[in-house]
């Protein structure tokens, strides 16, 4: 016990003396949350669009104004021919070309269909999808009002033909009513943060002792391998938890993320999860000899885990085989747990199965790495 105390003292002394590492450890949660949450957003803002208005009527004007009024779109220019407008699309100056046909107003007022042509730059598929859905909903809204206008006019004239009831759909989004992207991202980013600390720092630290040769001196002391490992894993476990707390308070008070579930549940599961990623880091350290090798392997794993963990793209939209792979992806579990607990207020009942899976993976990895570590000489 005393030996572990001295080892921990030494580790913390070294960590706090490391001028390069220390700021990263404590600034990282802030930077990650800020940058990723604000920058990695799916929301559209001020998309440039071009208009070719063949109708030049008051209704077509209204539609164009409506587009701009939302704040999502900004009028780049009006053109007299479709060719000119599409040139701008080619050049990348606009992302959307809106063509309004002749007789647009007349057809609409007559209750006939009035097709509008949308040309969208789909180089970036996800933003093209967003532009389309935003535009469609603006046009649908506009359409509904116009239809209502027409009906009122018709009613005034006494024409009962157009007097049908409109069925309107009003979707309600549960747990994240405004479909706020930040609310969705922040819990996931916190998971990435904890994973990085656990996977990189502790594994790296063990390899470092081997790389600079200090492990040879340590190995002839009465320090046992388990004491050594506890001495290596515990400091970064603590740092990971502290970082998570910093991140959680930022999420709560900075981003106003709903905190429906219990903080205690989150912390307990995070503790288990950290042991899991640290075991993985330990395992990497047993198969590598330099920090560079360890770093590379850790990065590779991290990227795969994150991309397949449902942080950016939902697991449900992956192909079947990829969904099966996520069954072994700890990042995917923890991201899901974090979102469920924070945003839906899920308790033990809802998450315990996933926690057991995490415990299982953690125990397996820890066992393998300790076993492997004991066999490595110096």
Partner 1 sequence: MASAVHISQVSKSFGAVKALRNISFEVNEGELFGFVGPDGAGKTTLFRILTTLLIPDSGEAKVLGMDVIEDYKKIRPQLGYMPGRFSLYQDLSVEENMKFFASVFGTTIEQNYELVKPIYHMLEPFKNRLAGQLSGGMKQKLALSCALIHKPKLLLLDEPTTGVDAVSRKEFWEMLRMLKEEGITIVVSTPYMDEAKLCDRVALIDKSEILQIDSPGNLTKAFTKALYGIKHPDKYRLINVLKDYEFADSVHPFGEFIHYTDRRGSIDESGLNEYLDSKGLTEANIQSIEPDIEDLFMSLMQPEELHV
| Positions that interact with partner 1 (CB under 8 A) | 2-3, 6-7, 9-10, 13-14, 17-18, 212-223, 377-378
Q: At its nearest, how many Å lie between partner 1 and the CB of residue 24?
A: 16
C-alpha–C-alpha distance, residues 93 and 75, integer Å: 11
Q: At its nearest, how many Å lie between partner 1 and the CB of residue 128?
A: 52
The smaller minimum CB distance to partner 1, of residues 123 and 377, is found at 377
The smaller minimum CB distance to partner 1, of residues 9 and 249, is found at 9
C-alpha–C-alpha distance, residues 310 and 316, integer Å: 8
Q: At its nearest, how many Å lie between partner 1 and the CB of residue 21?
A: 11
The smaller minimum CB distance to partner 1, of residues 223 and 307, is found at 223
Q: At its nearest, how many Å lie between partner 1 and the CB of residue 26?
A: 19
The smaller minimum CB distance to partner 1, of residues 68 and 221, is found at 221
C-alpha–C-alpha distance, residues 110 and 126, integer Å: 36
Can you read off the two tokens belonging to residue 137? 């909903």
The smaller minimum CB distance to partner 1, of residues 3 and 176, is found at 3
What is residue 224's DSSP assignment?
-
The smaller minimum CB distance to partner 1, of residues 59 and 205, is found at 205
Q: At its nearest, how many Å lie between partner 1 and the CB of residue 216?
A: 5
What is residue 175's DSSP assignment?
S
Q: At its nearest, how many Å lie between partner 1 and the CB of residue 7?
A: 8
Neighbours of 26 (CB within 10 A): 13
C-alpha–C-alpha distance, residues 205 and 200, integer Å: 8
C-alpha–C-alpha distance, residues 155 and 160, integer Å: 6
CA distances from 212 to 203, 227, 270, 317, 375 (A): 15, 20, 32, 46, 20
**What is the CA 133 to chain-centroid distance, rounded?**
21
């Amino acid at each position: 016990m005393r030996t572990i105390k001295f080892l921990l003292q030494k580790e913390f002394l070294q960590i706090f003396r490391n001028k390069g590492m220390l700021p990263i450890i404590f600034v990282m949660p802030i930077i990650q949350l800020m940058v990723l949450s604000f920058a990695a957003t799916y929301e559209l803002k001020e998309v440039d669009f071009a208009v070719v208005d063949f109708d030049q009527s008051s209704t077509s004007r209204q539609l164009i104004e409506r587009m701009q009024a939302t704040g999502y779109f900004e009028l780049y220019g009006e053109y007299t021919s479709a060719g000119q407008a599409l040139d701008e699309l080619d050049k990348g100056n606009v992302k959307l070309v809106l063509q309004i046909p002749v007789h647009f107003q007349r057809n609409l007022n007559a209750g006939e269909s009035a097709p509008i042509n949308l040309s969208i730059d789909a180089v970036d598929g996800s933003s093209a999808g967003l532009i389309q859905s935003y535009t469609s909903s603006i046009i649908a809204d506009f359409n509904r009002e116009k239809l209502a206008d027409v009906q009122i006019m018709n009613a005034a004239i006494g024409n009962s033909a157009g007097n049908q009831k409109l069925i309107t759909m009003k979707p309600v989004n549960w747990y994240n009513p405004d479909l706020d992207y930040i609310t969705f991202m922040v819990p996931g980013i916190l998971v990435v943060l904890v994973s990085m600390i656990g996977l990189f720092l502790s594994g790296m630290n063990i390899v470092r002792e081997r790389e600079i040769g200090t492990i040879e001196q340590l190995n002839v002391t009465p320090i046992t391998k388990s004491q050594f490992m506890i001495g290596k894993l515990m400091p970064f476990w603590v740092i990971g938890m502290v970082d998570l707390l910093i991140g959680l308070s930022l999420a709560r008070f900075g981003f106003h993320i709903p905190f429906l579930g219990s903080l205690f549940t989150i912390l307990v599961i995070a503790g288990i999860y950290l042991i899991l990623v640290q075991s993985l880091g330990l395992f990497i350290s047993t198969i590598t000899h330099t920090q560079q090798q360890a770093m590379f392997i850790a990065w590779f794993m991290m990227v795969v885990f994150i991309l397949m963990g449902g942080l950016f793209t939902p697991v449900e939209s992956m192909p079947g085989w990829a969904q099966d792979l996520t069954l072994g992806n700890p990042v995917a579990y923890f991201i899901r747990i974090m979102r469920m607990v924070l945003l839906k207020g899920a308790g033990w009942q809802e998450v315990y199965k996933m926690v057991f899976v995490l415990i299982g993976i953690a125990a397996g990895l820890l066992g393998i790495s300790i076993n492997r570590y004991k066999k490595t000489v110096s």
